[in-house]
Amino acid sequence: MLNNKQAEILKALAHPTRIELVKLLSAGEKCLCQVLPLLKLEQPIVSQHLAVLRHAGVVEAEKRGLYVFYRLKNKKFTKIIGLIDEILVDELKESQKELREAVKAR
């Protein structure tokens, strides 16, 4: 059961737009109207991505009057994205090292 929930969360995070939404919401709650200009995408597309994140339990929404505000359900989702960034930086450094070694070997 735990593995299924983990897979659901990772699947929800497995899209560049949804990763960007998590990064944007890491700074705090935002109205959909604040997110749209930052992503430069149409409202229905952003709403669909937010629905995926909401369904997986990554974000929660609150309607206030005409506006819907979104926030991360847990700030640790930001850490997940940060760890992935760190892994990618490590891999890039390793690739650069291997490339330098290959150039020296010529």
What residues does each domain of the chain span?
Answer: 2-104
Pairing between β-strand 59-64 and β-strand 30-31 as defined by DSSP bridges? unpaired
| Each residue's pLDDT tens digit, 37-66 | 999 999 999 999 999 999 999 999 999 999
The pLDDT of residue 43 is 95
Backbone phi and psi for residue 16, each to the nearest 5 degrees, phi listed first: -55, -40
The pLDDT of residue 12 is 96
**pTM for this structure?**
0.86
Residue for token pair 């899209």: 15
pLDDT tens series, the chain, 106 aa: 889 999 999 999 999 999 999 999 999 999 999 999 999 999 999 999 999 999 999 999 999 999 999 999 999 999 999 999 999 999 999 889 888 888 888 7
The pLDDT of residue 54 is 97
Q: What is the CATH number of domain 2-104?
A: 1.10.10.10
The pLDDT of residue 15 is 97
The pLDDT of residue 105 is 82
Nearest to 57 by CA among 1, 4, 5: 5
